[in-house]
Structure 1
Amino acid sequence: MTATLIPATLAFREDGTPFSPRFGDVYHSPSGAFAQSDFVFLKGNGLPERWQKRRIFTVLETGFGMGVNFLTTWAAWRDDPARCERLHFVSVEKHPFARDDLRTALDAIVAHAPNADLATLARELVQAWPMLVPGTHRLEFDGGRVTLTLVFGDAVEALPKLWLRADAIYLDGFAPAKNPELWSPAIFKALARVAGEDATFATWSSAGDVKRALEQNGFEFRKTPGFGDKWAMLTGRFAPRWRVRRYEPPLPMPLGERHAVVIGAGLAGSALVERLAARGWRVTLLERHPAPACEASGNPAGVFHPLISRDDSTASRITRAGFLYALRRWNALDALGHAPKRTHAGLLHLATDDESRAVAGALASFCYPNEFVHGVDRGEAGRIAGVELTQGGWFYPHGGAIDPASLCRAQIAAASAFSGAQVEARYGVQVGRIARAGESWQVFDDAGALIAQAGAVIFANAHDAARAAALDFAPTRSVRGQLSLIDRSPLAALRVPVIGDGYAVPLDGDVTLVGATYEVDDTNLDLRAPGHLENLERVALMLPELSQATEPSTGWRGRVALRCVTSDRMPMIGQLGDEQAARRDAQRLSGAWPQDLPRTPGLFGAFAFGSRGLVWASLGAELIASQLEGEPWPIERELAEQIDPARFLQRALRQRSL
C-alpha cells in the first residue's frame, strides 16, 4: 500500500532562510539559493556546456525542496542558444510543499534572484504544481521542451522504480546527519543503475560516508572548494571498474528517420499522434473508418475519474497517474485553442456495494487533498448533484464527462499545428498485415497493397490489434456496451455525472445518458430493448427520479459499442514481445523478467483500454513516446510492467506452456 504523503512545513530562520522543522536544516545556503545552485550543481556538472548540441539531456535530483535547482537549470537552458532540444528534469520529494506554501517560499527567494526571468519561471512552476498525491507527476514547460517529472514519495522506495538514463545527478538532500536515508547505500545503488556512461554528479556535501558510498557504486569523485560557508564539495562522474547493473538504462530506438505509423484513430491513436508530433516525429495515421472516433470512442460522452481502492492497488496507481496526466494534456489543448467538449463541475461516485462502502469509510486515512477526492454523505452528494440520491460516496472535483470524439479531433488538430509537424491522416484504410523490410516495417492493406513504411508501427486499433500484429499472447475479448439516451429526462436538473452501479451523465437539451451494459463476447451492434431497461433499472437504484422515465412512442435512443479488454483488465501499452524468438529460447527464458524478454524492434501496442480509455490513453501515448525516444518514463517501471503487452508472453514462458 502506498504510504500517506505528508506535506512539508514552511518555516524561516531569523535571517529569512527557509528552514525545515522536520529535519532541522535549511533548504539553501544563507549566501543565496540561486547562486548556490549555479555554483554547486550546474558548474559542478559542467553545465550548460555538456548539454549543448544534444537532442535530449536528463538531470536526476534527490530532493526537490522548493525547486531552486530546477528553476536555475531551466533558466540556464533558456539562456543558452546552443541548448539541447529537450531537457528532462527528474526529482524525488518525500515531503512536497502545498502550492500556497511553495508560492510564499519562492516569492521570498526570487526577490533576491540574480536573473529577473526566475520570477516568471517560479510563477509558472507554482501554477503547474500538482496535487499532493503519491506517485509520478509529469509537468511540461516551454511548449514541452522542458519536462519536469516529479516523484512524490520516499526516495529509497521510489528511485529503484524509475527508468531513465541520467546525464547529470544533483545530490541535494538535507545534511547526511539530518536525513541519513537520502544518503544511504540504497540511494547510491539506485543512482548507479540509471547513470549514463558519461554521467556526472555534484553535491555540496563532502562527508566521508558519501564519498565511500560513491566509490562503492562506481562513481569517481574529486574534492573542490565549496560555496559560501562550505569548505568543500564533491563532483565527479560515473566510471565503474566492474559491472554494476544487470540492465542498461534506456536509449533512443535506432532509426534512420523518426517516422511512425499509427494504426487506429480512436482515443489511443489520436493521443499517440499528438505526443509523437510534439516531439517532431513524422506520423502516418491509418484508420479503417471514414473519420476518427467511429467505434467506442464515438459515444456521446464518457466519464473520467481516478480509481480508489482500499489497498491502493496497481490499477489505482496507474489510473491515478493517467487521470492527472490527462487533465494536463486536456488543459494544454484548451490553451492551444483545440478544447474538447467536457464538463468542469466534478463527478460523484456513490458507494453502492460493500467494497465501495469500505472505500468511502477509509477514504480519510489516505489523507488525499480535497481537490483530488473527498467523502460526501447522502445530503451533501444530493446538493452537489442537484437531484435526489439514494446514498453518499465520494466526490472528484476534477472528474467529469467528455465527448471522446471531440477529444480525438482536438488531439489530431493540435498535432498538425505543431511547428514543423508532418502528420498525414488517411481514412478508409483497412490494414491487412505488416512485414519486416530491412530496418523498417511495411504496412499492407487488406488487398495486399503497400500503404505505408516506417521504422516504428504502433497498433492502436483495439480488437484488431492482435490480428494485425500477429500476436498469439494477447488474450483480448470484446465486451458489448449499450448505453441509453433519455429525452426530456426526469433528471434534467442533474448537475454532474454520477457513477456507481452504472452511470448517469447530463447532456445538453435536458437529455440524460445512462449506461452501460457489460456483455462479454457479445459482438452484436443492434440496440435491444432489454438493454435499455437494464440501464434504467440499475441507475434508478442510485437516482430514484429516473424510475419516472417512460419509454417514448418512438422507442428508446442509444448506441452500442464494443470495449476491448484483456483477461486481467489492464491495457496493453508498450513495445511488443518477439514471440518467435521467445519460442526458440523458451527454456532459457522460463524465469524471465520483463526486461529479459526479446522484443520486436519498432513494434508497439496501445490497446485493450476497456472502459478507461479516457484516463489511460494520454499516459499510454506519453509512455510509448518516451520509450521510442529513450526519455525518462512517465510512470514507475513496476507500473509499466503491469501494462506491458509482453506480460502474457512472460507468463506463458514461466508456466512453460510454449
Structure 2
Amino acid sequence: MTATLIPATLAFREDGTPFSPTFGDVYHSPSGAFEQADFVFLKGNDLPERWQKQRIFTVLETGFGLGVNFLTTWAAWRADPARCERLHFVSVEKHPFAREDLRAVLATVTAQAPRSEFAALAQQLAQAWPMLVPGTHRLEFEGGRVTLTLTFGDAVEALPKMWLRADAIYLDGFAPAKNPELWSPAIFKALARVAGEGATFATWSSAGDVKRALEQNGFEFRKTPGFSGKWAMLTGRFAPRWRVRRYEPPMPMPLAERHAVVIGAGLAGSALVERLAARGWRVTLLERHSAPAFEASGNPAGVFHPLISRDDSSASRITRAGFLYALQRWAALDALGHAPTRSHAGLLHLATDDESRAVSAALASFGYPNEFVHGVDREQAQALAGVELAQGGWFYPLGGAIDPASLCRAQIAAASAYSGAQVETRYGVPVGKLERNGDAWQVFDDKGTLITQAGAVIFANAHDAARAAALDFAPTRSVRGQLTLVDESTLAALRVPVIGDGYAVPLDGGVTLAGATYEVDDTNLDLRAPGHVENLERVALMLPELAAAAEPSTGWRGRVALRCVASDRMPMIGQLGDETAARQDAQRLSGAWPLDLPRTPGLYGAFAFGSRGLVWAALGAELIASQLEGEPWPLERELAEQIDPARFLQRALRQRSL
C-alpha cells in the first residue's frame, strides 16, 4: 500500500525564512534562497557551461522543497543562448506543499530574489503544480523544452525506482542531523545507479557521513568554501574505481536519423505521433483504414478516470499516473487550439458490488485530495447526476467522457503544427511484414511492396501488433464490445457519466450511451439484440429510470468494436524483446530481470490497452519517446516493468518453457 502523503506545513522564522516544523530546519539560507542555489548547485556543477551545446541534459535533485533550485536552474537555462535543447529536472519530495501554500511561500521568497523573472517562473510552477497524490508527476514548461519530473514520496523508496541518466546531481534537503534518512547510504547507492559517465554533484553539506557515503559509492569529492561565509561545501563527480552497479542507466537509441514509423492511428498511435513530433522527430504514420480512430477509438464517447483499489495496486498506480498526465496533455492541446471534445463536469463511480463497496468504505483513509476523488452518498450522487441512482459511491471531479476520434485528430493536428515538424500520414496502407536492412527496418504492405523504412518502428495497431511484430510471447485476445444508444428517455437529464456495473454517458441531443458488453474471443461486428438488452439491464441497476425505457420501433441503435487485451489485463508498452536471441541463450536467461532481456533494436509496442486507452495512451507514448531519447522515464521503473511487452518472454524464460 502506497503511504499517504502528508503535506508540508507553511511556517516562517522571525526573520521571514521559510521553516519546517516537522524537521526543525529552514528551507534555505537567510542570506538568500536564489543566491544559495546559484552558488552551491549551479556553480558547484559547472552550470550552465556543462549543458551548453548538448541536446539533452538531466539534473537529479534529492529534495524539491520550495522548488528554488529548479527555478534557478530554469532561469539560467532561459538566459543561456548556448543552452541544451531539452532540460530535464528530476526531483523527489516527501512532504510537498499544497498549491496555495506553495504559491504563498514562493511569493515571499521571490520578493527577495535578485531578478524579477523569478516571480513569473514561480507563478508558472504554482499554476502547473500537481495535486497531492503519491507517485511521479511530469510537468512541462517552455513548450516541453524544460521538463520537471517530480515524485511525491519518501526518497529512500522513490529514488531506487527512478530510471534516468543524471548529468548533474543536487544533494539538497534538511541537515543530516535533522533528516538523516535523506543522507543515508541507501540514497547514495541509488544515486550511483543512475549517475551518468562524468556526472557531477554538489551539496552545501560537508558532514563526515556524507563524505564517506560518497566515497563508498564511487564519487570523488573536494571541499570548497561554502555559501555566505559557511566554512565548506562539497563538489565532485562520479568516477568509480570498481563496478558499483549491475545495469548502466538509459542511453538514447543510436540512430542515423531520428525517424520513426508508427503503425496504427488510434489512441495509442496518435499519442505517439504527437509526443515524438514534439521532440523534433520525423514521423511516418501508417493506418490501414481511410482515417484515424476507425476501430475501438471511433466509439461515440469513452470514459476517463483513475482506478481506485484498496491496496493501491500496480494497475491503480499506473492508471493514476496516466490519468493525471493525460489531463495535462489535453490541456496543452486546448491551449494550442486543438481541443478534443470532452466533458468537464466530473464522473461518478457507483459502489455496485462487494469490492467497490469496500473501496467506498475505505476511501477516506487513503488521504486523497477532494479534487482527485471523494466519496458521495446516494443523495449527493443524485444531486451531481441529475437523475435517480440506486446507490452512492465516489466522484472524480476531473474525470468525464471524451470523443476518442476528436482526441486522435487533435493530437495528429498538433504534431503537424509543431515548429520544424515532419509528420507524414498515410491512410489506407495495411502493413504486412517488416525486414531488417542494416540499421533500419523496412516496412512492406500486405502485397510485399516496400512502404517506407526507418530506424525505429512502433506497433500501435492493437490486434495486429503481435502478428506484424512476429511475437510469440504476446498473449493478447480480442474482446467484443457492443454499445447501445438510447434516444428520448428520462436519462436525457443525466449530467455526468456514471460507471459501475456498466456505464451511462450523456451525449448531445439528449442521447445516452450505455455499455458495454465484454465478449472474449468474439470478433463478430454485427449488432445483436441480446447485447442491447444486457447493456440496458446492467445500467438500469444503477439508473433505475432506464428500466422504463421503451425499445424504439426501429430497434436500438449502437456500435460494435473490438478491444485488444493481454492475459494480465495490463497494456504492452515499451521496447520489444528479441525472442530469437532469448531462445538461443535461454539457460543463462532463466533468472533474467527485465533489464537483462535481449531487445530487438528499434522495435517498440503500444497496444493491448483494453478499455483504458484514454488514460494509458499519452503516458505510454511519453514512456516510449523517453526510451528512444534516453530521457528520464515518466513513471517508476517497477511500474514500467509491469507493462513491458517483454514481460511474457521473461516469464517463459523463468519457467524454462523455451
Which TM class, normalised by the smaller chain length?
A: over 0.9
Counterpart residue number, 1:645: 645
State whether structure 2 residue 412 is matched by structure 1 residue 412.
Answer: yes
Deviations 1:38-80 (A, max 9, x none): 0000000000000000000000001100100000000000000
State whether structure 2 residue 187 is matched by structure 1 residue 180.
Answer: no
Deviations 1:524-571 (A, max 9, x none): 000001100110000000000111111111111000000000000000
AA matched with 1:287: E
Distance 2:427 2:197 in 1: 44
Q: Map 1:97-116 onto structure 2 (within 5 A).
A: 97-116=97-116
Q: Map 1:330-409 onto structure 2 (within 5 A).
A: 330-409=330-409
User: Which portions of structure 1, spanning 4 or more consecutive aligned residues, are displaced by more than 6 angstroms?
Assistant: none
Distance 1:569 1:227 in 2: 53
Q: Map 1:245-284 onto structure 2 (within 5 A).
A: 245-284=245-284
Counterpart residue number, 1:70: 70
TM-score (norm 2): 1.00
Counterpart residue number, 2:497: 497
Report the 3-state secondary structure (helix = DSSP H, G, I; strand = E; otherwise coil) of the residue aligned with 2:624: helix
AA matched with 1:203: T
Distance 2:197 2:403 in 1: 46
Q: Map 1:72-471 onto structure 2 (within 5 A).
A: 72-471=72-471
Q: Map 1:525-536 onto structure 2 (within 5 A).
A: 525-536=525-536
Distance 1:368 1:283 in 2: 39
State whether structure 2 residue 65 is matched by structure 1 residue 59.
Answer: no
Distance 2:641 2:489 in 1: 44
Distance 1:460 1:495 in 2: 34
AA matched with 1:374: H
Report the 3-state secondary structure (helix = DSSP H, G, I; strand = E; otherwise coil) of the residue aligned with 2:451: strand
Counterpart residue number, 1:629: 629
Deviations 1:385-404 (A, max 9, x none): 01110100000000000000
Distance 1:488 1:267 in 2: 31
Deviations 1:226-285 (A, max 9, x none): 001421100000000000000000000000000000000000000000000000000000
Report the 3-state secondary structure (helix = DSSP H, G, I; strand = E; otherwise coil) of the residue aligned with 2:483: strand
AA matched with 1:33: A
Report the 3-state secondary structure (helix = DSSP H, G, I; strand = E; otherwise coil) of the residue aligned with 1:420: coil
Distance 2:283 2:614 in 1: 22
Report the 3-state secondary structure (helix = DSSP H, G, I; strand = E; otherwise coil) of the residue aligned with 1:11: coil
State whether structure 2 residue 35 is matched by structure 1 residue 39.
Answer: no
Distance 1:553 1:66 in 2: 64
Report the 3-state secondary structure (helix = DSSP H, G, I; strand = E; otherwise coil) of the residue aligned with 1:426: strand
TM-score (norm 1): 1.00
Distance 1:111 1:229 in 2: 23
Distance 2:230 2:426 in 1: 62
Q: Which runs of 5+ in 2 are unaligned?
A: none
AA matched with 2:456: A
Report the 3-state secondary structure (helix = DSSP H, G, I; strand = E; otherwise coil) of the residue aligned with 1:379: helix
Shift of 1:406: 0.1
AA matched with 2:429: V
AA matched with 1:105: V
State whether structure 2 residue 562 is matched by structure 1 residue 587.
Answer: no
Q: Map 1:573-612 onto structure 2 (within 5 A).
A: 573-612=573-612
Distance 1:617 1:452 in 2: 25
Q: Map 1:475-554 onto structure 2 (within 5 A).
A: 475-554=475-554
Distance 1:523 1:561 in 2: 9
Distance 2:243 2:2 in 1: 32
Shift of 1:489: 2.3
Distance 1:520 1:78 in 2: 53
Distance 2:487 2:395 in 1: 26
Report the 3-state secondary structure (helix = DSSP H, G, I; strand = E; otherwise coil) of the residue aligned with 1:517: coil
Report the 3-state secondary structure (helix = DSSP H, G, I; strand = E; otherwise coil) of the residue aligned with 2:2: coil
Report the 3-state secondary structure (helix = DSSP H, G, I; strand = E; otherwise coil) of the residue aligned with 2:448: coil
Distance 2:236 2:642 in 1: 36
Counterpart residue number, 1:25: 25
Distance 1:229 1:268 in 2: 55
Report the 3-state secondary structure (helix = DSSP H, G, I; strand = E; otherwise coil) of the residue aligned with 2:492: coil
Count of aligned positions: 658
